[in-house]
Chains A and B, each alone.
Chain A
């Protein structure tokens, strides 16, 4: 069961250039393309003529042309051209989905089309501020359900064990004993963690060699069903990080995480890294991206292994622990949305 009446990241805007892009989202094969006016369309990946996947087609002047017999569809899914025939039957159309291109993302709505309200898509202004937040992005294919990946981002104590050599560091105690405040919200939840007077982890030290003992924070906003906006950083002890985190001289990064279901047990992980230090050095932005790419590969490996085990053994006989607080509030929000979704569909 997917939560359908929500916006999901379908692609990075720069993934959709000339060729159509095929991607399964919420269990449905979708083809994304950019027409000649620059508008992005999302269609069912199945021509209404003979059922051929449209991903084998190409973008032509009036839309996406099927690669089998040349029917052309516009962004709304209407057939606009059938070679050798003047009349276009009313039935000649494919399913289309509302899409919005914004802040370097392409968002898709796969629920009731008349409920698609673009004003509810989260804002991510950092992607438009290249001077202050130079950034890079990627998408990972994950052989695990999106909820397990969101779980991963709700319990930061895993940094101590999964990411020792990158963003975690070797001292598990500081992660486990971090001060943490969880605030459930109507849209999801917020949490802020502080690790005071600790050693910076390897990634931070590489980025900002001046770091000594630091006050370190991790701030997360989970926007249901599967977007996570993160701001992490550290300032040397004595700089007053808890009074003002937004000051030069320390380490700071913003991460966006968007988990879009592919199937029940697989998902697409869209992520970006925004560099909040040495902004005028492209190599610093590249190095940060590579460090995070390494860390997220570690997450991918452990969560995929977890999914495989859960597939084999089921979710009985699992126990919740103290660090699950944010994760449990997140799951409660998803349950609430799922129920609302079910009620909306039934109505």
Chain B
């Protein structure tokens, strides 16, 4: 369900980062959301992208998002920077949260890479409100590229730590140092590029944090899941068949066409019936059955809904 909104405020938040305040076009309130939530934004007809929600700036019933212009991306952010003006009409979906804070007031450490700061800004404000202990590490190219610096400093004070890779006094984030004195019971929240999030998560796992205490959102996953699907190749090794999975079909459908049948039940990634062993390649997991650990192992795939990150998958069928 999309709802019409109006751009009521636009600001250049940092180099390449635009912050946008959206009000409901009918003057009513927009649905409330939890820190960490994101919304679909239809920038212009047919161009839908996901953006995390910042804490509301003025009225609690407006939305604020930040858009980083990614010249190497699929073009959505470049288009947004070009067309968004105050007063512009666009549409948003209902907030969804795949990156929620754990309830309670245990320790938390938040890691933001680049534009990954948006959901973590909202989460940091919520932890501040709860009076829960936390630290926020924010990595950006430079001071000029870092968004919300003044807001972060005035709201969070000593709890925010900036790490810049360029410019005077540049010092990249040292994940090991950031985790050195953190209680093992702490929850970790990571949002940034896949490379950034992988680096943080790998170090945290090495230090004993388990899946249930590591919460991550990486833009590439969100982007790929929402972006247009592409063709890829599947080699069904046991059957001796190599086939192309077209962008508009599932692996399951492609295998069925080739006469290879796989047991199924729900056909939408819920039940795990169609799980198939992966021999080579990296799946793009889209099911709700596998746990994070099983996903990361990349040894099995729900062929009814998941796709491939690599150009080719070799399956044991």
Contact = CB atoms under 8 A, between A and B. Distances in A.
Answer whether A and B are interacting partners. yes
Interface of A: 179, 181-186, 192, 196-197, 215, 237-238, 240-244, 319-322, 324-325, 328-329, 332
Contacts of B265: 319-320
Contacts of B177: none
Contacts of A240: 32, 60
Interface centre among B98, B126, B212, B270 (most CB of A within 10 A): B270
B264 to A, nearest CB: 9
Contact of A325 (B32, B33, B126, B270): B270
B94 to A, nearest CB: 7
14 contacts: A179-B97, A181-B100, A184-B212, A186-B212, A197-B31, A237-B29, A240-B60, A320-B266, A320-B273, A322-B266, A322-B268, A324-B270, A324-B271, A325-B270
Contacts, number: 60
B212 A181 contact: no
Contacts of B94: 179, 196
A329 B268 CA distance: 15
A232 to B, nearest CB: 14
Interface string B160-204: 000000000000000000000000000000000000000000000
Task: Give the dominant DSSP class at B's interface.
Answer: loop
Contacts of B97: 179, 181
Given A192-B100, A322-B266, 17 more contacts: A179-B94, A179-B96, A181-B100, A184-B212, A196-B94, A197-B31, A244-B129, A319-B265, A320-B266, A320-B270, A320-B271, A321-B266, A322-B268, A324-B270, A325-B288, A328-B272, A332-B272
B34 interface: yes
The 3 residue pairs across chains A and B that have the minimum distance between CB atoms: A320-B271, A320-B266, A242-B32
Interface string B259-299: 00000011010111100000000000000110100000000
Contacts of B289: 328-329
B76 interface: no
Contact of B291 (A184, A237, A325): A184
Nearest to B126: A243
Most chain B C-beta atoms within 10 Å of own C-beta, residue among A183, A237, A244, A332: A183
Interface string B90-121: 00001111101000000000000000000000
Interface in B43-65: 60-61
A334 B89 CA distance: 50
Interface string B222-259: 00000000000000000000000000000000000000
Interface of B: 29, 31-35, 60-61, 94-98, 100, 126, 129, 210, 212, 265-266, 268, 270-273, 288-289, 291
A328 B291 CA distance: 12
A241 B60 CA distance: 12
A237 B32 CA distance: 8
Given A183-B212, A186-B210, A320-B271, A238 B29 contact: yes
A235 B98 CA distance: 22
Contacts of A241: 32
Contacts of B60: 240
Contacts of B270: 320-322, 324-325, 328
A185 B212 contact: yes
Contacts of B96: 179
B271 A328 contact: yes
B269 to A, nearest CB: 9
B288 A243 contact: no
B212 A215 contact: no
A182 B212 CA distance: 12
B34 A243 contact: yes
Nearest to B32: A242
Contacts of A192: 100
Given A185-B212, A186-B212, A243 B266 contact: no
A325 B302 CA distance: 14
A196 B32 contact: yes
Contacts of A324: 266, 270-271
Contacts of A196: 31-32, 94
Contacts of B129: 243-244
A253 B34 CA distance: 21
Contacts of A237: 29, 32
A185 B289 CA distance: 13
Contacts of B100: 181, 192
Nearest to A239: B32
Nearest to A244: B129
Nearest to A326: B288
A132 B29 CA distance: 32
A247 B98 CA distance: 24
Contacts of A321: 266, 270
A192 B98 CA distance: 11
A307 to B, nearest CB: 21
Contact of B33 (A185, A242, A320, A332): A242
A251 to B, nearest CB: 17
A238 B210 CA distance: 37
A235 B210 CA distance: 34
B36 to A, nearest CB: 10
